[in-house]
């Protein structure tokens, strides 16, 4: 047996907030939305793709935002993204905890993103 890589990452989201998720992940971050298989559409949530990795947001009835779990996105033009996030009303905080890596954090409707 050999693990070949990750297929997708699944994160929880609150029910009925798919429009906000699309605005954040597609309109703001530029990810591509994927069509869910017909048998899964009724569950809510949304799927997105960046390169080979998929991010699945699944509805959780007793949703509580994750504070540690997060996707960490590699970005070209981090300063531009931080400015876009702030212009859209999101907080974006610089992080210097790993000096050799330029990082910033923001939060969407689901979680913190590094």
Q: pLDDT tens-digit profile of 26-74?
A: 999 999 999 999 999 999 999 999 988 999 999 998 988 877 777 888 8
- Residue 92 CA to residue 41 CA, distance in Å, equals 32
DSSP 26: I
Q: What percent of the chain shows pLDDT beyond 90?
A: 52
DSSP 28: I
pLDDT(19) > 60 = yes
Cα 34-105-65 angle, rounded to 5 deg: 65
Between 95 and 44, name the one with better pLDDT: 44
> Minimal CA–CA distance to 29: which of 20, 37, 38, 41?
20
Q: Would you state the structure tokens that stand for residue 93, as one six-digit string?
A: 């905080």
């Amino acid at each position: 047996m050999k693990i070949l890589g990750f297929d997708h990452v699944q994160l929880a989201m609150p029910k009925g907030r798919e429009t906000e998720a699309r605005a954040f992940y597609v309109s703001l971050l530029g990810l591509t939305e994927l069509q869910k298989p017909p048998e899964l559409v009724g569950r809510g949530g949304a799927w997105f793709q960046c390169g080979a990795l998929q991010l699945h947001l699944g509805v959780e009835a007793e949703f509580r935002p994750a504070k540690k779990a997060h996707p960490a996105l590699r970005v070209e033009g981090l300063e531009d993204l931080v400015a876009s996030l702030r212009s859209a009303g999101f907080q974006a905080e610089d992080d210097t905890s790993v000096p050799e890596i330029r990082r910033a954090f923001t939060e969407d409707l689901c979680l913190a993103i590094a």
